[in-house]
Amino acid sequence: MMLQKLIQHRFLFEELVKRDFKKKYKRTILGMAWSILAPLLQLLVMALVFTKFFGKNTPHYVIYIFCGNLIFTFFSDATKGGMSTIMGNAGIFTKVNVPKYLFLLSRNVQALINFGLILIVFFIFVAFDSLPFTWKFLCLLYPIGCLILFNIGIGMVLSALFVFFRDIQYLYDVFTMLLMYMSAIFYTIDRYSPMGQNLFLLNPVYLFIRYFRKIVIEATIPTIWFHLLMAADVAIALGLGCFMYKKYNTRFLYYV
């Protein structure tokens, strides 16, 4: 059903993607180059600040934090941008009957393009760090696909809540900052007890980061249980997002 409507409104969807992409880099000198420069500058700062404290005993530390920064940036970019998609496009869907999730999907496509560009740079860093490229890298398609769906689900929840509660944007800023520190981006969890390490698995973002690190740095494929846990997080996020869009679809018109 969703795919049929997406095909039906393909022209609008394509224009929304172009608009979102142009809007992000409007009046910037470097333009699209910021998609790569911004995360690289963040990586540089993290490497300079945390290498002294955490990097001495962590093999391939730059790749280690690059994995965390890569995943978290994609998640943050997609969900924060997706939060305002309904309110930001009220002038369109109040006049034309179009599926409201088109606006969210177009924002996620723009975030996905940025992620793809950074991912290419990430693989270049991996090569320079002399980490071997094996067939196991193909398994990265699984967490990437799951992360895309997870971002869409969370984006649907946030965009629906933002229509009714504007305070959610400030609360989410605090939440993402807390989530960043709880995702072991620049530190390892080895110092924690086995129970404490298992608690990190309750954080879906950490699951995606951990999957990347196991494939790229450790050259091992996570267990089936790990895959199922990731799929469960995606199913919950998508299910909750679709439920909220379906339940409040008509009410959105009264609050925008």
Mean pLDDT value across residues 35-44: 76
Residue 160: pLDDT over 60: yes
Centroid of chain to Cα 41: 18
Position 236 scores a pLDDT of: 96
The answer as to whether 23 is a domain residue is no
Residue 27: pLDDT over 90: no
The answer as to whether 233 is a domain residue is yes
pTM score > 0.85 for this model?
A: yes
Residue 1: pLDDT over 90: no
Q: Are 186 and 139 in contact (CB under 8 A)?
A: no
Per-residue pLDDT tens over the stretch 182-235: 999 988 888 888 898 889 999 999 999 999 999 999 999 999 999 999 999 999
The answer as to whether 240 is a domain residue is yes
The answer as to whether 162 is a domain residue is yes
Task: Share the mean pLDDT of the chain.
Answer: 85
- Which contacts (CB < 8 Å, 24+ apart) does range 29-38 have? 32/117, 35/113, 35/114, 35/117, 35/118, 36/117, 36/118, 36/121
Residue 8: pLDDT over 90: no
The answer as to whether 216 is a domain residue is yes
- Specify the higher pLDDT residue, 55 or 217: 217
The answer as to whether 119 is a domain residue is yes
Half-sphere exposure in the Cβ direction for 218 (13 Å, CA): 12
Position 16 scores a pLDDT of: 73
- Specify the higher pLDDT residue, 25 or 111: 111
Q: What gap in Å lies between CA 229 and CA 207, rounded to an integer? A: 9
Residue 26's pLDDT band, with cuts at 50, 70 and 90, is: low
The number of domains in the chain is 1
Residue 34: pLDDT over 70: no
Residue 104's pLDDT band, with cuts at 50, 70 and 90, is: confident
Q: Are 67 and 188 in contact (CB under 8 A)?
A: no
Position 205 scores a pLDDT of: 96
The range of the structural domain enclosing residue 81 comes to 2-17+34-255
Mean pLDDT value across residues 147-173: 92
Mean pLDDT value across residues 98-112: 83
Per-residue pLDDT tens over the stretch 87-101: 877 777 667 777 777
Centroid of chain to Cα 105: 13
If 0-12 CB within 10 Å is exposed, 13-18 middle and 19+ buried, where does residue 208 land?
A: buried
Q: What gap in Å lies between CA 137 and CA 133, rounded to an integer? A: 7
The answer as to whether 74 is a domain residue is yes
The answer as to whether 27 is a domain residue is no
Tell me 222's DSSP state.
P
Length of the chain: 256
